[in-house]
């Protein structure tokens, strides 16, 4: 008996939804961490410009400055790690170079823009809508739904 062998129907690749979700999270984390670092730097600059060097307030300002410095260092570690992971996911050359570029003031903004551009073009190539902070949740959920339903077709 000859069995009827048919060619498989082309389906969307299921990894696209997982990859889109991972890229979206990394993209958002990177943008928010850089924004947080800029905000912390602004606060530190405002504190140093308005602080008076006398009295007990100087101790409070000094302690607050230490807390802000620690937060800036934590933000920098998050930025570097996230840039490395995002560049690796996007297949963008050497991820270590992208991470190192995030250490350099002013260059990190240009690096953020370059990684953002690469992430945006990756998402558009896969039909994912991109908003201000990366791929929209609705677009990712739509891709996920279509990949799950196509697996049962």
* Residue 9, domain member (yes or no): no
Cβ burial of 70 (10 Å; 0-12, 13-18, 19+) is exposed
Give the pLDDT of residue 78: 93
Q: Are 133 and 27 in contact (CB under 8 A)?
A: yes
Q: What is the pLDDT of residues 13-71, one digit of tens each?
A: 556 677 777 888 888 888 888 888 889 888 888 877 776 666 666 777 778 888 988 99
* Residue 13, domain member (yes or no): no
User: Rounded to whole angstroms, what are the CA distances from 103 to 6, 60, 92?
Assistant: 55, 29, 18
Give the domain range for residue 80: 19-151
* Residue 39, domain member (yes or no): yes
What percent of the chain is modeled with pLDDT above 90?
Answer: 13
* Residue 140, domain member (yes or no): yes
d(CA 8, CA 112): 41
* Residue 14, domain member (yes or no): no
Question: Domains in the chain: how many in total?
Answer: 1
Residue 150 banded pLDDT, cuts 50, 70, 90: low
Query: Residue 44, Cβ neighbours under 10 Å: how many?
Result: 16
């Amino acid at each position: 008996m000859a069995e009827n062998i048919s060619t498989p129907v082309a389906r969307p690749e299921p990894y696209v939804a997982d990859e889109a979700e991972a890229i979206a999270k990394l993209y958002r984390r990177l943008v928010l961490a850089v924004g947080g670092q800029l905000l912390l730097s602004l606060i530190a600059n405002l504190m140093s410009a308005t602080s008076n060097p006398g009295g007990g307030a100087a101790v409070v300002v000094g302690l607050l400055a230490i807390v802000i410095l620690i937060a800036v260092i934590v933000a920098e570690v998050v930025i570097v790690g996230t840039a490395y992971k995002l560049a690796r996911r996007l297949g963008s050359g050497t991820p270590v170079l992208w991470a190192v570029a995030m250490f350099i003031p002013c260059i990190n903004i240009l690096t953020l823009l370059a990684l953002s551009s690469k992430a945006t073009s990756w998402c558009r190539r896969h039909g994912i809508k991109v908003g201000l902070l990366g791929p929209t949740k609705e677009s990712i959920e739509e891709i996920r739904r279509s990949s799950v339903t196509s697996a049962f077709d």
